[in-house]
Every structure is written in C-alpha cells, then in structure tokens.
Structure 1
C-alpha cells in the first residue's frame, strides 16, 4: 500500500514537473536572454482605434488595438508590459537608441525602415480608402485624374499614390504630416481627396458627415500592413511571430480588432455638414475632454520655469565669460552662443534625447532631456541679454567698488548683476514667454503638454479646430498672466528706487 502511494506520488510529481517545464520553458529562457522581466513598448498614441488615450476621470491611459495585442503577447511570453510614447517620427530612433524593446503604431514594414529595424509578420492588413467631399463625385481611383490628392508622409499610401500618378494623367500629390491635417485640407478646398486606412477613414467621415469614404480594392499583402518593429537582431522577433500567428489562427486577433472599433465609434460625436467655405466648429465636442487638455498645463509650466531658472544661471556665467577679458573663456562663450543660436531647438532636442544613450550609455529621461536642451538653448540667448544689461550699468559704480577694495566677484554679485537684471527685466519676460510657447516642442519626446494634449483629443475625436483653439486660449491666458505679473513687478521695482 505504501509502495503504491509512493509510486502514485512520484508519478504525480513527475507529471506536474513536466507540465511546469513545458509551460515555462520558453519564458525563463527568453527572459534570461533579455535580462529583464518587463518589456518596454513605444508608440504614438494619436491614431485611434490602434493607439490612443482613454480618459478616465483624472487619469490618462493609452489603449487601443495595438496595445491589446501587446498585452496579449507580453502575457503569453511571461513578461510585464511598460508603455512609452513619442511622436511617430521618433519611434525608429528610439529603437535604434535601445530606449524600447519594440514599437507598435500601425507601422508599415517598408524597405527603407527594414534597413534600420527588424519587423514581425504582418498582423493587420486593412484596405485603403478614398476620403473626399460627398459632392465631389470622387469614388474610385479613376476619378483622381486631374485632381490633387493628399497622402501622409512616409506611409505606404504615399508609395501607392506615386504609382497611381504614373497612370492617372494630371494627378498631383501633396504630402502632409498627420491625418487630421489631411482632412482639414479637403474641407478648406486645397486638395480634392486623401487616401487613408479604412478604419481611420470611417472615423473621420462619421465625425465629419460632409465627407464620404470609398474603400479601394485590396492590395498585395506583402506591400503594406501593420507589423511590430524591433531593434536590429532582437531576440524577440521569433517569439512575437509565434504568438501573433497563434492569435491569427485562433481568431483572437479579429476579436480584439472588432472590440476596439466598436469602442472608438461610441466616442464620436457627428456634426452638421458645412460647405467648403464654412467653418465646422462645435466646442461642445471637446467639453468632456477639457480636463484632459488642462492636465498639460503643469507639464508646460514645469519645463518653462526649470529652463528659465537654470538658463538664467547658465546665461549669467556665459555673459561673465564674454566680458572677463580672458580670451579662452571669451572664445568659448562666443562659440557656444553661435552654435546654439544658429541651430533649431528641435534639432538640439533630438540630439540630446536620442544621441545621449548611444554616446554615454545613460538613458536620459524625456524630462531631463527637455530641461537640459531648453537650459542650454535659453542660456545662449540670455547671455547676450545679460551682457548688455551688465554693460548698461554705470562704469563709475565698478570703479568705485574696486577702489574701495571690494573683490571682483562680490562686486558683480552684489552690485552690478542686480542692477543689470532690473534693466533687462522686459527682455527676460520676453524670453520666458518664448520658452513657454516653445515648450510644445517636448511633445516630440512623448511629453504630454498643452499642445500635445489638444492634438491627442483631436485625433481621438477625428476633429481639428476645437482642441487646437482651446489650447491656443490656454497659452494666451498663461502669457497674459505672465505679462501682467511682470508689469506689476517692474512698477514695484521702479517705486523702490
């Protein structure tokens, strides 16, 4: 009896152990080869229903068809999932800098992209559609002859449009950056039609009833479709392909797609159609999303104030370098100012954010990269302003302080610089206003500030004007508040003289 029990126990133990090994054999091996238990996904959450923000009270959450797939795969492979965001143009640079393990953003595996990153198998193949004004009678490809067609830059639609242009006489192509801009170009009469993915086209036409969408015949599946992007030689490609194929065969992928399409359609609010000369404007469409846009204010103010504080310190040091009389310091300050004033801030931002990990090995966060870039840039501009302010102070005060034996650094800190800052206060206010408006650039790093929040709302609702105009109102209120406060401070300083 005991032998039977022992044999039975041994058998059960062996079965359980075997099942555990079979179920877990891929996960520990894969996790150990990567060296972590969390996968980082990067996306551009402005393309519903594939990736977009869902507002739940005061919380922001990135959801969508691609996010559902990523969660499914991570669970199957035994990983946790962390989601980062950036502008669409920053996805591949982020993978090249090893900021993320993979990217999903309805990305097409074009030959140019394959040279820089690896791709999974195609997990979604949607038809393209023509979107045009219902009165234009443009319903098929042949109707585009002699018309102006809009397509999104860097997409398979752009490649297909160039092929069509060779067959359709007189067709002109206009390249645009974002889908909402393309729709607005139709409504303003600058182009006659655009080509978009079928699901996206449905969303825009439901929200803009004056437009119609007309699906095109399906293209060769190898020519387009959406795939997961990975850094070159990533060990995740094969495991992802295995799970994706399982999802396709079981029908789970189609279920996720259907659920997301239904969810996004419930959020759309159609408006009355208008003519091309009218303005389709209805602020009520974004009222539920106003709290979401307002949450971008602290981010913009944080970047502005931190950059102003550190930029003022750095600009003061540079200005002292320029007037110190030491040739090496003067040359450095002038050369530095020349470089940072002579190149766009957007370029500087991209170099700091994407090049730093590759050059130093430090994966600099977006917040630090933004503040550092703004500090370096504003310091260059402020140095000239502060230098002018210092030189505007009466030289007699410098001579008097030195004659009394006051050390040079104390004289500058206690006597000259306070007067210089008082003289250049209006210029500093202008620099602060410029920093506040330029804070919109950090959206390219995935920081959701005021403008980015408005763009996300517009993308989610398939609208254009309302969220941007509301963002403009926020900027205006902030700038006017800053201007009023500066004027009050300036009056008080004058009274204290």
Structure 2
C-alpha cells in the first residue's frame, strides 16, 4: 500500500509554483470577514477579503488558486512541510512566527476587543476585571498571547472562532478576545462588546511564505503593493463584510437545516464510507500479518509483532495522524493527501486491534483440531486455512463487528486535517448557519444510522454462520 501511495503523494506535494501553475493556499475558513464559508448559487464556497487577495496574487502569477481549509494551528506545519505554498488567515507576523516562516508586507490592521454576554457587559469596564476569569481565545493566535498576559486568566484555546462564541453563549467562558473585524459577525442581542479594551497596538496581518521561497515572496509583495496603490483592499474588506452580514435572520429548525444542506452531508457520508471501507480492508490485511508474526516460531517476528501492537495501541490515533500527515512531510518530504493519510492511519490503527482479535480467535480453537488435521496428512498452512481459521473467524466475528463500527466513528478524527467527511461538513454547516447544535445532531443521527445498519448486517452474518452449530 505504501509503495503505491508514496509516488502519488510525492507528486501531490507543493514544491514550487511552476509545477502545474497551481498556487496552494492554506487558510482557516472560520474567520469572517477574512475567510469564511458561504453558500453561493447552491454551492459551498470559501470567500472573504483574504481570499480575494489570494485570487489577485494567483491572477498576477498566472496560476490556479487551490484553497486548503484546515485548523489555524495546523497552518504553520502545513506551510513548513510544503503542503501549501502560502498562508493567508489574518495571521499576525510575530517574532516567534518569523523564526519559522517568512512574511510578506502587512496588508491590514485591526484592533482587539472583548466580547461578552449582554447581561455581563457592565462586569468588565476595564481589563483588570478580566483577571482570574475564564476567557476564550483562538489556539495559536495573537489573542492567545494577549490572554496569557492577563493575571490568573483561565484560557480556553480552540481552533474555531464559532466554537469560542458557542462556549460564551453556553456560559462555559466569561469573555472572549477577538479581532474587531471578526467580532462584528457575531454581535447580536445576546453577544456584545465589553467596555474593556486590550492594551495592545493594532494587530497587523501578513501573508506567510515558506522560508527561502523568495520568488513567491517577491510576487506576493508586488501584488500587495499594486492593491494598496489602487486602494483595492478597503474595497475587498467592505465587500466581504457585506457578504458576512447577509446571514439568515430566521433560525431554521433541525429538519430545515438537514434538507437545505443535505448535499453537504451526502458528500461527507461518501468520504466517511470510503475512509472506513478502505481502512477496514487494509486493517484486516495488516491484522492478519501481525497476527502471523505474533504466533510465529521465530523470536524476531514475535518481537516485531508485539512491538507493533504495543506501540499502536499505546498512542492516540490523533498523534498517529499528525505524524503521518505532517511528520513524514517535514522529515522525509512525503506529502500524503488528507484521504491517503486518513486511510493509512485508520489501517495501521485498526490493524493492531484486529491482530489481537485474530490471535485470540486462533488460540481459542482447540489444539486438537490442528493435530487431527496434521494426522490426516494436511500441511500446517492448509490446516490453518481450512480447519483453524474458519472456526476462529466465527468465534471472533462479534469483536470484528465492533471494530468495524469503531472505525466508522473514529474516522471523524480525520476531519482535523481537512478531510471532507461527515464531521467536517457538520462544521461547515455550523459556520454557515451560526447554529452550534443542530448540524452536529444531524451528524450524530447519520453516524447512528450507518453503524446501526452495519450492526444488523453483521448480526445476520453471525446468525448464518452459526446455523450449523444449532443442528
């Protein structure tokens, strides 16, 4: 699998703009009006004035713009690993970030504000009242650095601005630090600005470029200089703000949300099933191989099998995903796509658990079965294939079914790297509708339907295989 996947992954890497004339942009599309999801002509699109600037850069370079949506804290690793060519996400060029990447000239300035619930507006007249309070910030942002300077503040750092606002609405935090331009999209009768204002200079936004890519850096600065001379950036900000202000005033119920965005969820279901199916297939293959290692007479093979099982079961799947998606790109320049990384992660993870399931099933078969087969002249391999494995498979089928169900649910982890599965689409719908609960209730219902159907099918198979035992 790796032999077939690596050449494709290497070809998909972004090593230079001249390759295919594609300019790959990394962004976190939950930062209106900088970048955000919006349904236009029935299609989900990422818009905002950052995106408008990126399109201008691509047009000046004669390149096709490709947008990669991911978590804000994943933007720098994606840029350093060559997965994207540039990052535009309202990012402030701090000294710490400059040690990792290069930045263009600044293109926008904004101020920081404190957002609170309407009933708490008078509680925070100055920044002093925010001490020892629970404050929401975006992970890896300049707002997080501001929050860290507030004495005794208990910070809740999340990837998405919409999640931070949801934390505020549900009384899990007392206040949130946002950029003024971004905060406008969330202000209403319940969420308002506090009188307190962070004692910080205006935050500058710049475009991140991989270190050493001076050709792209010069091209980006040239486009920014042109846009500034033509006074285009304020116009882009105004247009993006108008699109952001066009959100629905009527709150649709859960059925209306599902029907309106059914195509989003349908796409997510397709990718989830693809991830799960391939993860199961390769997981079974890996599991059988590792199981064979674990039961082999050679000590070195038993050690390899044991080490694999203990290592994979002893580390979180999210860590394994980060190593495969970002780690291999940074160390070996192997750039797997989100789909490839997801399949590989699910396969190697489920393979460890399936190996132990298979081993338990094989060892549960009476040893006399093997001895009887050998006494009839069957070889060890034939006896294992025709006598032991069929019995073992029937014994462990319920456990295998549980693992299959688990894979479907755990595939949701892959959404953190931009895989368009059910959870990713639910987040997109949440960002479009500004609803924090309904999109995820729909996702939960879809997961339940998928796992329920799979459980019933496996149950029928189990009953069919055990029919002979009742005769």
Normalising by structure 1, we get a TM-score of: 0.84
Among 24, 27, 45, which residue is 1:43 paired with?
27
CA distance in 1, matches of 2:433, 2:349: 36
1:159 aligns with 2:153: no
Residue 205 of structure 1 pairs with residue 181 of structure 2: no
Which residue of 2 is the match for residue 275 of structure 1? none
Out of 172, 185, 196, which is 2:153 matched to?
172
Closer, same or farther: CA 478–92 of 1 in aligned 2, 3 Å: same
Structure 1 residues 329 and 480 mapped into 2: Cα distance closer, same or farther (>3 Å)? Answer: same
214 and 65 in structure 1: CA distance in 2 versus 1, 3 angstrom threshold: farther
Structure-2 change in CA distance of 1:228 and 1:406 (3 Å):
same
The answer to whether the aligner puts 1:141 opposite 2:126 as a matched pair is: yes
Please list, as runs of the form range in 1=range in 2, the aligned pairs for 1:340-359 lying within 5 A after superposition.
340-359=312-331
Please, which of 415, 423, 447 is the counterpart of residue 475 of structure 1?
A: 447
* Cα drift, residue 129 of structure 1: 2.3
User: 5+ unaligned residues in a row in structure 2: which ranges?
Assistant: 1-14
Q: Distance in 1 between matches of 2:17 and 2:143?
A: 38
Matches of 1:52 and 1:455 in 2, distance apart? 12
CA-atom RMSD, angstroms? 2.5
Instruction: Tell me how far 1:175 sits from its aligned partner.
Output: 2.4
CA 1:328/1:258 → structure 2, altered by over 3 Å: closer, same or farther? same
Q: Do the aligned partners of residues 358 and 149 (structure 1) sit closer, same or farther apart at CA in structure 2, a change above 3 Å counting?
A: closer
C-alpha distance in structure 2 between counterparts of 1:461 and 1:124, whole Å? 27
Contact 2:29–2:37, Cα closer than 8 Å, also in 1? yes
Aligned residue for 1:365?
A: 337
SS in 1 for 2:204: coil
- Give the 3-state SS of the residue equivalent to 1:125 in structure 2: strand
For residue 118 of structure 1, what is the aligned residue in structure 2? Answer: 102
TM-score by length of structure 2 reads: 0.88
Query: Structure 2: how far apart are the matches of 1:126 and 1:355?
Result: 34
List, as ranges, runs of 4+ consecutive aligned residues in structure 1 with deviation greater than 6 Å. none
Segment of structure 1 superposing worse, 261-270 or 231-240: 261-270
Conserved? CA contact 1:393–1:416, under 8 Å: yes
Structure 1 position 452, deviation (Å): 1.1
Call closer, same or farther: CA 1:96–1:204 in 2, change over 3 Å.
same
Q: Do residues 306 (structure 1) and 271 (structure 2) align?
A: no
Q: Distance in 2 between matches of 1:187 and 1:359?
A: 42
1:66-92 deviation digits (Å, cap 9, x = unpaired):
221111111122222222233222211
Contact 2:134 2:156 survives alignment (8 Å): no
Q: Does 1:150 align with 2:136?
A: yes
Q: Aligned-pair distance for 1:157? A: 1.4
Quote how far apart the aligned CAs of 1:59 are. Answer: 4.6
Q: Deviations over 1:217-245 (max 9, x none)?
A: 89424xx2322111112121122112112
Deviates more, 1:229-238 or 1:183-192: 183-192
- Does the C-alpha gap of structure 1 residues 332 and 78 become closer, same or farther in structure 2, counting only changes over 3 Å? same
Aligned to 1:405: 377
In 1, the alpha carbon distance for the partners of 2:228 and 2:154 equals: 35
Deviations 1:246-286 (A, max 9, x none): 212312111111111111221333559xxxxxxxx866456
1:254 match? 234
**What is the CA-CA distance between 1:425 and the residue it aligns to?**
0.9
Q: Deviations over 1:377-408 (max 9, x none)?
A: 11111111100001111222211211222222
Mean alpha-carbon deviation: is it higher for 286-295 or for 411-420?
286-295
After superposition, the Cα gap between the structure-2 partners of 1:314 and 1:292, relative to the gap in structure 1 and judged at 3 Å, is same
Deviation, 1:346, is 0.9
Residue 264 (structure 1) aligns with = 244
Shift of 1:191: 2.3
- How many corresponding residue pairs? 450
Alignment correspondent of 1:52: 36
Residue 262 of structure 2: aligned partner: 290
**Alignment match of 1:105 (pick from 74, 85, 89):** 89
**Alpha-carbon contact 1:48-1:459 (below 8 Å) kept:** no
Aligned-pair distance for 1:359? 4.2
Structure with greater Cα Rg: 1
In the aligned structure 1, how far is the partner of 2:199 from the partner of 2:58? 31
- Rounded to whole Å, the distance in 2 between the matches of 1:220 and 1:80 is 36
Aligned to 2:164: 182
- How many angstroms apart in 1 are the aligned matches of 2:24 and 2:251? 39
CA distance in structure 2 between the partners assigned to 1:263 and 1:58 by the alignment? 15
How far is 1:57 from its partner?
A: 6.8
How far apart are 1:32 and its partner, in Å? Answer: 9.4
Q: Indicate how the Cα distance of structure 1 residues 188 and 360 shifts in structure 2: closer, same or farther if over 3 A, else same.
A: closer
